[in-house]
């Protein structure tokens, strides 16, 4: 949960890491403390300065007073960002002989960009764990329902039979592949920002690269080839990873909302609140059991494209430091991490508790009266009749079945004109029955499901 405890946090801030103002403050203080330690290690600060700044920063991260988020935000109006106010307060909080060490060599963007990287790392870690849990839930569903037959739907219309195992395998693959993008960003693209006023570290003389290397080591971030003040590819890659996660989770959630409709009823969400409360109720309709987790995921993911678009637009930054584009990133970046992390947490809840109703799936499939198997019947009749004639015959039989409310079998074998063609082709009623068996027209559904499960298992090794 986010630390500010807002009214909508139960839905939109369910992830495991805070991204609010207090989280930003902690990340900026961590960066300033690490810089002081790096300067001391490089011989650019007196002995003990690193420890003094680190202690003051740790106290500040948990205190109010001059380090109050709201106060720093108000001071930011004087300089366009909160770092100058933070630095002034931190210098007052350390012993006099350590004050000159605070922020030495850095510029405001160094602190905020590096804090953004720390914020991303802290947010992506629980997100990755939740995605892994959601994927495991999908793997369990895929294995348990490998051969559970249901109607497939394309363009929201009944198509041909599939298995719920294959549906869950598709969810699983989407989660696994988006998780790989998150892992790549976490491991390789979260980098230190340290370039000073214009990316040259001129104020540190020849010691700039050494201090940068030590600072990256202190923070556990990658050391970039050079400062990236106006190269926003790292921000864009975090955004892209979140967009991929959002798409994979939204796919699952949308399928669940459709399959959980009262008229469909093939799945439902299980579980309740943490205190045993009933979940999914309506303020007006006592009978309702709404798919809360799926709805919450969609509420989170619907916000992602706009946030990503803002970050993409802000990637165009002029000269050595941007006027406005960099500032435009701060809140969308944090919001993106927050809502994507929340969606991932809801995803773990959803897939781990989803209740599947194979009997309802079979009933819905049987209610199609055999029409989704028309393609297979056409394939059966094609050798003796020719493909075009077979297609025409089955199309006429399907139209008759729809018109009178009969099954495709009844139309093919019970309407004399149609039955004459079937019998004349040498096709028996037993062959028609076999062609109309949904379990016999699943193609490679089982093979694909097994492949997804095997790929998931391999990723966990």
Q: Which residues are catalytic?
A: 282, 321
Contact 172, 456 (CB under 8 A): yes
User: HSE (CB half, 13 Å, CA atoms) of 42?
Assistant: 25
Contact 376, 159 (CB under 8 A): no
Residue 105, judged by CB atoms within 10 A of its CB (0-12, 13-18, 19+), counts as buried
Helical residues (DSSP H) of 20-80, grouped into ranges: 21-41, 49-62, 69-79
- CA dist 405 and 295 (Å) reads 36
- CA dist 137 and 356 (Å) reads 13
Phi, psi (deg, nearest 5) at residue 356: -105, 140
Helical residues (DSSP H) of 227-303, grouped into ranges: 233-259, 292-301
- CA dist 175 and 453 (Å) reads 12
CA angle 330, 332, 335 (to 5 degrees): 110
- CA dist 421 and 413 (Å) reads 10
Helix, strand, coil percentages in the chain from 3-state DSSP, rounded to 5? 65, 5, 30
Q: Which of 283, 280, 284 is nearest to 262 (CA)?
A: 280
Radius of gyration of the chain measured on its C-alpha atoms = 30
Contact 374, 408 (CB under 8 A): yes
Count the neighbouring beta carbons within 10 Å of the beta carbon of residue 122. 20
Q: Distances in Å between the alpha carbon of 270 and those of 95, 172, 254, 260, 276?
A: 57, 19, 17, 12, 12
Contact 250, 297 (CB under 8 A): yes
H or E element, residue 356:
strand 354-356
């Amino acid at each position: 949960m986010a630390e500010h405890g807002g009214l909508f946090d139960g839905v939109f801030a369910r992830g495991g890491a805070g991204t609010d103002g207090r989280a930003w403050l902690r990340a900026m203080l961590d960066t300033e403390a690490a810089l002081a330690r790096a300067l001391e290690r490089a011989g650019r600060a007196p002995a003990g300065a690193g420890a003094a700044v680190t202690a003051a920063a740790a106290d500040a991260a948990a205190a109010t007073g001059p380090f109050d988020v709201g106060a720093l935000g108000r001071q930011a109006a004087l300089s366009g960002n909160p770092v100058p106010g933070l630095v002034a307060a931190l210098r007052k909080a350390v012993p006099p002989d350590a004050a000159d060490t605070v922020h030495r060599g850095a510029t405001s963007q160094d602190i905020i960009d590096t804090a953004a990287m720390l914020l991303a790392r802290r947010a992506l870690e629980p997100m990755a764990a939740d995605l892994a849990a959601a994927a495991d839930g999908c793997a369990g569903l895929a294995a348990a329902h490998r051969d559970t037959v249901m109607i497939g739907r394309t363009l929201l219309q009944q198509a041909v039979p599939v298995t719920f195992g294959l549906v869950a395998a598709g969810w699983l693959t989407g989660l696994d592949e988006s998780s790989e993008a998150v892992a790549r960003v976490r491991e390789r693209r979260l980098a230190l920002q340290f370039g000073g006023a214009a990316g040259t570290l001129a104020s540190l003389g020849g010691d700039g690269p050494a201090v940068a290397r030590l600072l990256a080591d202190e923070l556990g971030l990658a050391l970039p080839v050079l400062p990236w003040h106006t190269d926003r590819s790292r921000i864009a890659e975090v955004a892209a990873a979140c967009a991929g996660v959002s798409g994979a989770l939204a796919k699952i959630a949308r399928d669940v909302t459709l399959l959980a409709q009262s008229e469909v009823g093939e799945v439902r969400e299980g579980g309740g609140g943490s205190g045993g409360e009933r979940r999914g109720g309506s303020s007006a309709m006592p009978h309702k059991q709404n798919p809360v987790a799926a709805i919450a995921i969609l509420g989170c993911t619907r916000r992602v494209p706009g946030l990503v678009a803002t970050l993409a637009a802000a990637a165009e930054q002029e000269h050595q430091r941007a006027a406005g584009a960099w500032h435009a990133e701060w809140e969308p970046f944090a919001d993106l991490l927050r809502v994507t992390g929340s969606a991932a947490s809801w995803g773990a809840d959803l897939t781990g508790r989803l209740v599947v109703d194979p009997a309802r799936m079979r009933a819905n499939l049987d209610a199609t009266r055999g029409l989704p198997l028309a393609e297979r019947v056409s394939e059966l009749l094609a050798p003796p009749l020719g493909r075009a004639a077979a297609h025409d015959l089955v199309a006429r039989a399907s139209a008759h079945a729809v018109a009178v409310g009969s099954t495709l079998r009844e139309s093919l074998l019970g309407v004399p004109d149609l039955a004459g063609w079937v019998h004349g082709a040498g096709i028996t009623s037993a062959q028609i029955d076999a062609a109309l068996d949904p379990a016999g027209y699943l193609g490679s559904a089982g093979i694909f499901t097994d492949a997804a499960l095997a790929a998931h298992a391999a990723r966990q090794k």
